[in-house]
Amino acid sequence: MARATRVWHSLFTLHPARTVVMAFALVIAIGAGLLSLPFAAESGTATGLVTSLFTATSAVCVTGLAVVDTGTHWSGFGEGVILALIQVGGFGIMTMASLLALLVSGKLRLRMQLTAQAETKSFGIGDVRRVLLGVAGCTVIVELAVGALLALRFRFGYGETVRDAAYLGFFHSVSAFNNAGFGLHPDNLTRYAQDPWVTLPVSAAVILGGLGFPVLLELLRHRHRRTSTGRRNWTLHTKLTLLTTAALLLIGTLLTCVLEWTNKGTLGPLDWPGKLLNGFFHSAMSRTAGFNSLDIGALQASTLLVTCILMFIGGGSAGTAGGIKVTTFAVLAAAIAAEVRGEPDASVMGRRIAPHVLRQALTVALLGVGLVIAATLALSSIARHPFENILFEAVSAFATVGLSTGITADLPDTGQLILILLMFVGRLGPITLVSALALRERTRRYHLPEERPVIG
């Protein structure tokens, strides 16, 4: 008994990153169990275990990939479970647990603060309390505001009842801010392709959720500081996130419009404002949200490749986005630029990048590439689909995006289990990896003999 207690203690308390992994796995298991119940399905019959597990994992990992249609397969109870899993997954299991502990006891234990810090990427132990309350505030404000806008549009623009309009608006708002991409229509959001009153609020919620909570909190904090002092002093993390996000949104919009402008299956039938609107919407959704206003299966192969790149990069750190994160991409780009120029240190915006940050960025990126390649090879061996579709599906699962060319439901159970693993690792891998590296960092009191292998 004592040994079992020690094992349990080591699993859940000795390492914050391990606690986050176990918590997410536990919630996925609970969600899969609830979705397997007969009354969770519209038909009143129990849903298969693989389907329930896939849906629960996709919801908790805020991905949006689905093997059954959300709006027709699941009952009201099932949709409520999915919505709760999305909210819990996006908000962060440990963030929510820490917030509850804070509200109950008024204080946080050191171990709980370390665990919350691993999930929220706050900058210090003293910041955790402020970050937790800020995360809760940002989540509630954005979801309610976007939900109200969407509900009004559904009510007065499409004739939905007050109840249905409120439900549709709130569901899509929560799904958008958490970058989940679950929709209640079989065609996702393609029926609203030319309606900016739907696509733009959804895009705004996705972008805000994808920036990351540290960036949102800093923007709010410095807004008040600028009002009182007239100065704006952003951290390098915020500057990199905002600049890289804006650049990727612009590049993604331009490339989507150029490559799909005459495609009869996507942008071709639309007028030029509609083309620009949907090019922007697709670019924003490719950053880790699974909503689509265009038929993904009809995209050109070149557009699929551009989308894969955008999905793999993802959004901001410590938010609801997936991928390797924009700061990782920016740091690697700075390292390449420094090496090309022959400079000894990588620098961005007048700041030198610490060597251990470069190592972490390189580790996260290469592990992501390795996982996607391995999953693509495994899926190619068991599924007979075009290679670009399989690669797209693997990147979408790893980056927790949720966009699909339509082959997810056709994959055998083994293929769906591979995507489940990818979604789980993609949601937690970069988080746990970076936090684990930070906690294990040691100062070596000696240097090994230096030798330089030939590079390039």
pLDDT tens-digit series, residues 112-139: 666 666 665 555 555 666 777 777 888 8
Report yes or no: 172 and 83 within 8 Å, Cβ to Cβ: no
Q: What is the DSSP letter of 74?
A: B
Compute the Cα dihedral for 8, 12, 15, 19 and give only its sign: positive
Residue 9 included in any domain: no
CA gap 366, 165 in Å, rounded: 44
Q: Element (H or E) spanning 7, and its range?
A: helix 2-12
CA gap 315, 321 in Å, rounded: 5
CA distances from 72 to 162, 182, 244, 262, 408 (A): 20, 13, 38, 33, 17
What is the DSSP secondary-structure string of 337-366? HHHHHT-SS-EETTEEPPHHHHHHHHHHHH
> pTM, whole model, 2 decimals?
0.86
Q: Dump pLDDT digits (tens) for 139-174.
A: 889 999 999 999 999 999 999 999 999 999 999 999
Q: With bands split at pLDDT 50, 70 and 90, how would you rate the model's confidence at 108?
A: low
Residue 136 included in any domain: yes
Report pLDDT for 426. 87
Report yes or no: 117 and 128 within 8 Å, Cβ to Cβ: yes
Report pLDDT for 199. 95
Residue 447 included in any domain: no
CA gap 321, 324 in Å, rounded: 9
b/e burial code for range 303-317 (CB count within 10 A of at least 16 → b):
bbbbbbebbbbbbbb
Residue 404 included in any domain: yes
CA gap 163, 151 in Å, rounded: 9
- The dihedrals phi and psi of 454, each to the nearest 5 degrees, come to -75, 125
Report pLDDT for 454. 75
Report pLDDT for 435. 57
Q: What's the rounded mean pLDDT across residues 57-79?
A: 92
CA distances from 234 to 122, 123, 446 (A): 15, 14, 37
CA gap 108, 102 in Å, rounded: 6
CA gap 135, 102 in Å, rounded: 13
CA gap 359, 53 in Å, rounded: 35
Q: With bands split at pLDDT 50, 70 and 90, how would you rate the model's confidence at 187?
A: confident
Domain count, the chain: 1
Q: Dump pLDDT digits (tens) for 358-414.
A: 888 898 899 899 999 999 999 999 988 999 999 999 999 999 998 999 899 899 999
Report yes or no: 32 and 423 within 8 Å, Cβ to Cβ: no
Report pLDDT for 219. 82
More confident residue, 246 or 346: 246
b/e burial code for range 278-292 (CB count within 10 A of at least 16 → b):
bbbbbbbbbbbbbbb
Tell me: pLDDT of 439 over 70.
no
* Residue tagged 């990896």 (tokens): 433
Tell me: pLDDT of 104 over 70.
no
Average pLDDT, the chain: 84
- Domain hosting residue 21, numbered range: 14-227+234-439
